[in-house]
Structure 1
Amino acid sequence: MASTSVLLVSLSLILINIITLPLLSTAISSCNGACKTLNDCTGQLICINGKCNDDPDIGSNECGGGGGSSSPPPTTNNCQPSGTLVCQGKSYPKYTCSPPVTSSTKASLTLNDFSEGGDGGGASGCDERFHNNTERVVALSTGWFDKKNRCGKIIRITASNGKSVTARVVDECDSCNGCDAEHAGLPPCGNNIVDGSAAVWNALQLNQDLGVVDVTWSMA
């Protein structure tokens, strides 16, 4: 009986110690910043399973910088302006890049006249030719044009009305230069422009008077 009593007392003490231990689930806060070592977390936070959390041993409840959640999430589009160009007293950002191309790339569709004497200025950069307004052709922003690597490629453009059309890339919508005779006095293009001919707009059943509409595009 004595040995049984001692065993019961020992078990009781073990259970009491387990119950009084701080529970990890109740100590974890919303800090949850990414970390690799204990030193990556600030204040009284520690690294638990790759996250900065409250220290369960001291019951801390604070979030700081470093590995805390105050750090902004990374973005997939790091395209930033490469300077500005002043045109007729107004400043325009210049871009050498464009947003990443996906299976449904968001863009602004603008209207361009690729014919000789049209508002597009000189001949198309890909083939040094002018193109009739009945041709489904487009110019792409500098980043998407990719140093002529998309010359002659066919892209698919889809409007918000559900209409879709294919068109051939024949020129660059220059996002770096503008305001000169070569660019018909126009400022630099945005970095998300698909500049389409009248035939493209007609195929999409869009009102050309709008001048610019939101679309998506992808390689055909």
Structure 2
Amino acid sequence: MANFILFSLLIVSLPFLATAASCGGSCRDLNDCDGQLICINGKCNDDPDVGTHICRSGTPPSGGGGGGSCQPSGSLTCAGVTKPTYTCSPPVTGSTSAILTLNDFSAGGDGGGPSECDNMYHSNTERVVALSTGWYAGGSRCGRMIRITARNGRSTTAKVVDECDSRHGCDAEHAYQQACDNNIVDGSDAVWKALGLNEDLGRVPVTWSMA
């Protein structure tokens, strides 16, 4: 009887042990694939928009990001502060940990130029976000909705419109700001309000997934 109960518990637990698929693995959407791989015709494969060669060569692109660990690709000194730069972000899962930051996507706002996805500015009343370079994935998530969940239990959806550049910064194009960390969801005022968060905090831990 004890063996039967143990076997039953293992069967029930299996769905919770599922991990992101690697090259050639079955998938339904981006969340099912490891690292920077994307779902193409039901199989996890290299992202043609990013130009990754993970499946073809068996090695991750420069700076990591093919799964596993994401290592710095260099460093950048801005206003006397040196930070690592990244071409990759942590692997995307069904509930990816991130840091939510606040951005003004309107003309003259924090982001400098218009959003990369549509070359437009966006009102503070729009629920829009920029994703760190690895998660932005060369624009493959442009226009797609993600779901963001705060620790207070509230969640909201937002549209991906821009990249939070983890490689470059401290210039006019990036409003003279430091390069982004590689785990950033940079949200508009409307995103913070929808989550019921205090904007004065500036940085808040959240999780996100494709909506």
With normalisation by structure 1, the TM-score equals 0.65
Q: Does 1:141 align with 2:111?
A: no
Q: Which moved more, 1:174-183 or 1:88-97?
A: 88-97
Residue in 1 that maps onto 2:87: 96
Distance in structure 2 (CA, Å) of the matches to 1:134 and 1:90: 33
- Equivalent pairs counted in the alignment come to 145
Encode CA deviations 1:104-133: one digit per residue, 9 max, x unaligned: 000000000000011111000000000000
Distance in structure 1 (CA, Å) of the matches to 2:123 and 2:161: 12
Aligned sequence identity (%)? 70
* Amino acid aligned to 1:183: H
* Amino acid aligned to 1:149: S
One of 157, 160, 165 as aligned partner of 1:174: 165
* Amino acid aligned to 2:175: A
Encode CA deviations 1:11-30: one digit per residue, 9 max, x unaligned: xxxxxxxxxxxxxxxxxxxx
Residue in 1 that maps onto 2:195: 204
When Rg is computed on C-alpha atoms for both structures, the one with the higher figure is 1
* C-alpha deviation, 1:77, in angstroms: 3.1
* C-alpha deviation, 1:90, in angstroms: 1.4
Structure 1 residues not aligned, in runs of 5+: 1-75
Distance in structure 2 (CA, Å) of the matches to 1:197 and 1:77: 30
Distance in structure 1 (CA, Å) of the matches to 2:148 and 2:68: 21
Residue in 2 that maps onto 1:34: none
* Amino acid aligned to 2:68: N
Q: Does 1:105 align with 2:86?
A: no
Structure 2 residues not aligned, in runs of 5+: 1-66
* C-alpha deviation, 1:202, in angstroms: 0.2
RMSD value over aligned CA atoms? 0.7
- Equivalent residues in 2 for 1:28-47 (5 A)? none
Secondary structure in structure 2 of the residue aligned to 1:147: helix
One of 68, 73, 83 as aligned partner of 1:77: 68
Distance in structure 2 (CA, Å) of the matches to 1:193 and 1:214: 10
